[in-house]
């Protein structure tokens, strides 16, 4: 590319990074281009003058570099040059409030990030590390400001650069609107005449390099004196990591995010512990009992017309489960209800929503099975989502019978609504493989118990039957429907029911908070009745709809002044 006429301002490329992020190697890479001159931290003197921070080379630097930041921006960074492009290596913390807005508005910008885990082990060779020195928060601020200016900058990660320099540099050049030049991949060992005064303190390893070194297979031992600093810095790094430019070649791009059943749930607030968090930040500790052993209890709640349906009944069962599981330090009913209401208000969910309410035994002081390690108290999770009934209640569903048997009370009593759902999941896998919506589970004697996710009812010659709750969860929706059957002047019988009776039933439906009243039109390839939704099923569906419209605990809401 031809050089610009003398006195013409080159196109400026601003590279923003934290220290120890391969920023000098990247500067050397760009300096190998035939159309590029480079500036090594041109705002360093301004940073030292304004902040007063100390460096071993402070006085020499201030005497040899112009400390007037705005003058540097105007006359050095955006001054005339001999090449088409000018590469400016910037350290994020050197962008100070006293600088002109032209610094961010002019030129093209990109951000180089590196995991603080890889920065901190070698950082304190010259200065003690601190949150300010790392500058990761300032990198996020730079990214946000450029986005507000309408120019979201490319973000590259040092780990990717080490893994496949050509792919990353090619992609970066494409984003910057300049051609990639292969000579960017190699350079001669030794210092450069454009190195900053600080080079003898910081650039020793770069001066011995001739290209981007491969990253270590195993990390250096982390200096745990910097553990708190790592915790402070990682969230900022992770925010930028999500914006990293993905390339082709050996750096395979990650698969796209799968579509959500309800796209609106991409941005929700989830209650974890004692606070509301964005969906992707809503996590529990790896020491939590629910991670260590599925040691938690849960409930499903549905929201209708500004009310939580059967809230008190669900909380009764939740507390019964915590007693059966011998939980300690269980939060009060009022505290849990308050967390539910806060979550629903924050998300604006007052209808057609569902809550997965989980209470774990809590975090352990060390990994292990014993509840004696649970010394922090329980952890509450309120996961509210926009969620219509999960089954096709208008046309019905198909079921198959699983070979996996329902737990006996001799092993794990199904009346405890616990999170150890492997028994159900194995049956659900069988249903998925058979391309059925769910799977019927039998008890140890071969009688129908329930499905992997719901209770089950059948109708024969006008009589409604449902299995005893000996091996199944006595669901709250199940109990509600049993009451409705009686109120609708139908005959209800609760007894052992064999699978063949379900095959020969006139009507079958399932019940659950997630699915409400779901007609079943086929079991194990056999049509139920005439393969259509029967009259009793429709009668119960209608009665249930009337009930949910009228009952429930009102969600308290703030009244705007």
Task: Give CA–CA dist 197/60, Å, rounded.
Answer: 8
pLDDT surpasses 80 at 5: no
Contact 108, 14 (CB under 8 A): yes
Predicted local confidence at residue 326, as pLDDT:
96
Task: Give CA–CA dist 358/290, Å, rounded.
Answer: 10
Strand (E) positions, 311-421? Answer: 353-360, 379-386, 397-401
Beta bridge partners of 353: 303, 386
What percentage of the chain has pLDDT greater than the value 90? 87
Predicted local confidence at residue 4, as pLDDT:
47
Radius of gyration of the chain (CA): 32
pLDDT (average), residues 63-78 = 96
Sign of the dihedral defined by the CA atoms of residues 18, 234, 259, 433, in that order = positive
Q: Which of 215, 88, 100 is nearest to 164 (CA)?
A: 215
pLDDT surpasses 60 at 250: no
Predicted local confidence at residue 218, as pLDDT:
81
Predicted local confidence at residue 8, as pLDDT:
72
Q: What is the pTM of this model?
A: 0.86
The DSSP H or E segment spanning 133 is helix 131-134
Q: pLDDT-derived band of residue 6, with 50, 70 and 90 as boundaries? A: low
What percentage of the chain has pLDDT greater than the value 70? 96
pLDDT surpasses 70 at 3: no
Average pLDDT, the chain: 93
Task: Give CA–CA dist 505/494, Å, rounded.
Answer: 15
Strand (E) positions, 237-390? Answer: 269-272, 275-278, 296-304, 307-308, 353-360, 379-386
Tokens in use for 34? 């035939």
Contact 127, 177 (CB under 8 A): no
pLDDT tens profile 505-518 = 999 999 999 999 99
pLDDT tens profile 301-347 = 999 999 999 999 999 999 999 999 999 999 999 999 999 999 999 99
Q: pLDDT-derived band of residue 126, with 50, 70 and 90 as boundaries? A: low
| Stronger pLDDT, 254 or 164, i.e. the higher one | 164
Task: Give CA–CA dist 291/300, Å, rounded.
Answer: 20
pLDDT tens profile 282-307 = 999 999 999 999 999 999 999 999 99
pLDDT (average), residues 176-188 = 96
pLDDT tens profile 216-240 = 888 888 889 999 999 999 999 999 9
Contact 309, 241 (CB under 8 A): no
Annotate 152-182 with b (16+ C-beta within 10 A) or e (fewer).
ebbbbbbbbbbebbbbbbbbbbeebebebbe
| Stronger pLDDT, 101 or 253, i.e. the higher one | 101
pLDDT surpasses 80 at 28: yes
Phi, psi of 344, deg, nearest 5: -65, -40
The DSSP H or E segment spanning 334 is helix 333-347
Pairing assessment for the beta strands 307-308 and 507-512 based on DSSP bridges: unpaired
| Stronger pLDDT, 409 or 523, i.e. the higher one | 523
pLDDT (average), residues 110-124 = 88
Pairing assessment for the beta strands 353-360 and 379-386 based on DSSP bridges: antiparallel
What is each CA distance from 397 to 4, 152, 435, 527, in whole angstroms? Answer: 71, 47, 11, 11
Contact 91, 135 (CB under 8 A): yes
Predicted local confidence at residue 249, as pLDDT:
43
Tokens in use for 178? 């300049």
Tokens in use for 382? 């309120």
Domains of the chain: 11-242 (3.40.50), 263-386 (3.30.470.10), 397-549 (3.20.10.10)
């Amino acid at each position: 590319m031809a050089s610009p006429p003398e006195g013409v301002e080159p196109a400026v490329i601003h590279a923003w990074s934290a220290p120890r992020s391969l920023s000098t190697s990247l500067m050397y890479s760009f300096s190998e281009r035939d159309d590029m001159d480079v500036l090594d931290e041109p705002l360093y003197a301004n940073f030292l003058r304004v902040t007063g921070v100390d460096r071993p080379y402070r006085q020499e630097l201030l005497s040899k570099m112009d400390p007037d930041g705005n003058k540097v921006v105007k006359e050095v960074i955006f001054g005339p040059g001999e090449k088409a492009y000018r590469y400016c290596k910037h350290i994020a913390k050197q962008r100070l409030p006293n600088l002109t807005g032209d610094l961010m508005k002019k030129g093209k910008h990109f951000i180089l990030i590196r995991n603080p885990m890889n920065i901190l082990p070698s950082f304190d060779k010259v200065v003690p590390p601190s949150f300010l020195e790392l500058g990761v928060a300032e990198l996020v601020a730079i990214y946000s400001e450029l986005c507000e200016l309408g120019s979201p900058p490319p973000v590259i990660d040092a780990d990717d650069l080490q893994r496949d320099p050509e792919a990353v540099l090619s992609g970066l050049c494409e984003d910057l609107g300049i051609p990639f030049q292969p000579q960017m991949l190699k350079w001669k060992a030794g210092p450069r005449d454009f190195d900053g005064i600080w080079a003898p303190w910081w650039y020793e390893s770069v001066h011995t390099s001739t290209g981007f070194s491969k990253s270590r297979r195993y990390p250096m031992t982390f200096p745990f004196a910097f553990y708190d600093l790592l915790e402070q810095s990682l969230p900022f790094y992770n925010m930028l990591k999500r914006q990293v430019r993905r390339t082709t070649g050996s750096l395979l791009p990650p698969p796209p995010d799968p579509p959500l059943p309800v796209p609106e749930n991409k941005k929700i607030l989830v209650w974890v512990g004692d606070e509301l968090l964005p969906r992707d930040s809503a996590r529990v500790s790896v020491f939590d009992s629910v991670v260590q052993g599925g040691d938690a209890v849960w409930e499903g709640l549905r929201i209708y017309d500004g009310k939580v349906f059967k809230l008190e009944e669900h909380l009764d069962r939740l507390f019964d489960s915590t007693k059966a599981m011998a939980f300690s330090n269980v939060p009060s009913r009022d505290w849990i209800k308050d967390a539910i209401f806060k979550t629903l208000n924050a998300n604006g969910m007052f209808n057609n929503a569902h809550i997965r309410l989980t209470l774990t035994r809590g975090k352990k002081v060390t990994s292990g099975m014993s509840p004696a390690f649970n010394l922090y108290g329980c952890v509450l999770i309120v996961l509210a989502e926009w969620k219509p009934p999960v089954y096709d209640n208008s046309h019905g569903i198909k079921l198959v019978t699983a070979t996996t048997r329902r737990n006996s009370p001799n092993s794990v009593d199904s009346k405890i609504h616990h999170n150890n759902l492997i028994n159900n999941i194995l049956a659900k896998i069988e249903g998925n493989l058979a391309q059925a919506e769910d799977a019927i589970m039998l008890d140890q004697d071969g009688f129908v118990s329930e499905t992997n996710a719901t209770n089950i009812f059948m109708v024969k010659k006008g009589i409604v039957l449902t299995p005893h709750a000996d091996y199944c969860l006595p669901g709250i929706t199940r109990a509600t429907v049993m009451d409705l059957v009686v109120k609708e002047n139908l005959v209800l019988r609760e007894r052992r029911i064999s699978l063949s009776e379900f095959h020969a039933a006139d009507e079958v439906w399932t019940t659950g908070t997630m699915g409400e009243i779901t007609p079943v039109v086929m079991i194990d390839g056999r049509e139920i009745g005439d393969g259509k939704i029967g009259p009793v099923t429709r009668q119960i569906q209608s009665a249930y709809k009337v009930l949910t419209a009228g009952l429930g605990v009102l969600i308290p809401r703030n009244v705007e002044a």
